[in-house]
Amino acid sequence: MNFDFSPEQTALQMQTRAFAQEHIAPVAARNDREEIFPRAILDNLAPTGLMTPTLPPEMGGAGADFIGEALAFEEIGKVCSSVRTILSVHNSLCALTIKQWGSQEQQTRYLPELGHGRLLGCFALTEFTAGSEATNQNLGARPVGDEWVLNGRKAWVSSGTKADLCLLFAQTDPAQGHRGIAAFLVPTDTPGFQAEKVWGKTGLRSAHTAHLNLKDVRLPATQLLGRAGDGFKIAMSALDNGRYGVAAGCVGQAQACLDASVAYTKERQAFGKPIAAKQLVQEMIADMAAAVESARFLVYRAGHVKNKGIRNTYETSIAKLVATETAVNVARQAIQLHGAVGYTNEYPVERHLRDALATTIYEGTSQIQKLIIGRHLTGENAFV
């Protein structure tokens, strides 16, 4: 594995860093505090190709590989995990899934619109009774002539109140279990589709989350993604992409907390010298640095496998597990190093901790990642 970035990867990293510092960092704290959806940021981002970094330029993307995507999401994660969440869902869960599973007509219709930012995508798999048990889909879809009629509810849908296109999963035949699940491309202005914003989240406040209610939503058969019964396979492949984006963003969060801690401990004086000169402070910083670098290289390894176009569930689950837990732990240590001011919103480390907590839950909890890893190594399925 070559640890040197290509000129294209480095250029994308620098482009994203410059954009993040100019457009995202100045408003991140306010957007979090006031729960402002960052529409202006997305509008400015759309012409850069960074809405969908791995789509080709003719579709509005940046034409990057998965290492390039990780570098971009890491830079955005450094300044605002809410924006990174919106982009991960839009690109990794929605656009890339259409690219992998969509018909030629679906790809032609939707990918340029998503790539150029004219449509915003979301992903609706979770239900109130189908979180870690994702096979337990109760939202139903039944064929009526050349249409499908959808009824039911979805929960915890990132960007659900703002998206234009929802990749949604429904049960077509309960007797078939997970083999009856289907994936649908649902325009959110379809009659009967309603999104309700979730208020009071601990973190990721600028990335709005919704519960969805679908009542007699009628879709033409052309909105079925893949075949009826392929839905669970489609969802799992999407999550391999989504978890990778989450892991990369968490490396950025952890790096931001490490950078802030180094800067603060060199500035803060105690007992006549910077606290950075204290042995226990240096121990904490060293532990943080080792954890960040470990998570980063696990993300790059997963990206390396993804670039080969082969199955990467094992590598991606390890990267997601380690990077999300690292983001939480490093943010907590950063608050400790900042002392009392770290417990306030005067510094961004408390926001990074609040945002990081969600990443160990969504798109498969840390415990679910351990079961995926364990199943790969032992051949035994602990899910049933």
Q: Measure the CA–CA gap between 136 and 155, rounded to whole angstroms.
A: 13
- In CATH terms, are 121-232 and 233-378 the same topology? no
The superfamily in CATH containing domain 7-115 is Acyl-CoA dehydrogenase/oxidase, N-terminal domain (1.10.540.10)
Q: pTM for this structure?
A: 0.96
Instruction: Quote the pLDDT of residue 2.
Output: 75
Per-position b or e across 217-251, b if 16+ CB within 10 A of its CB: bebeeebbbbebebbbbbbebbbbbbbbbbbbbbb
Whole-number percent of the chain with pLDDT over 70: 100
Q: What is the pLDDT of residues 56-69, one digit of tens each?
A: 999 999 999 999 99
Instruction: Quote the pLDDT of residue 383.
Output: 84
Query: Where along the chain do its domains lie?
Result: 7-115, 121-232, 233-378
Which of the following is catalytic: 283, 325, 363, 380? 363
Instruction: Quote the pLDDT of residue 105.
Output: 97
**Active site includes 363?**
yes
Instruction: Quote the pLDDT of residue 202.
Output: 97
Instruction: Quote the pLDDT of residue 1.
Output: 66
Instruction: Quote the pLDDT of residue 133.
Output: 87
| Structure tokens given for 321 | 């597990």
Residue 295: C-alpha distances to residues 14, 252, 254 (Å): 21, 10, 9
Instruction: Quote the pLDDT of residue 22.
Output: 97
φ, ψ for residue 156 (rounded to 5)?
60, 50
| Structure tokens given for 220 | 């033409």
121-232 classified as CATH 2.40.110.10: yes
Assign a CATH topology to domain 233-378.
Butyryl-CoA Dehydrogenase, subunit A; domain 3 (1.20.140)
Instruction: Quote the pLDDT of residue 247.
Output: 98
Residues of the chain with pLDDT under 70: 1
Q: What is the pLDDT of residues 275-302, one digit of tens each?
A: 999 999 999 999 999 999 999 999 999 9
Instruction: Quote the pLDDT of residue 384.
Output: 72
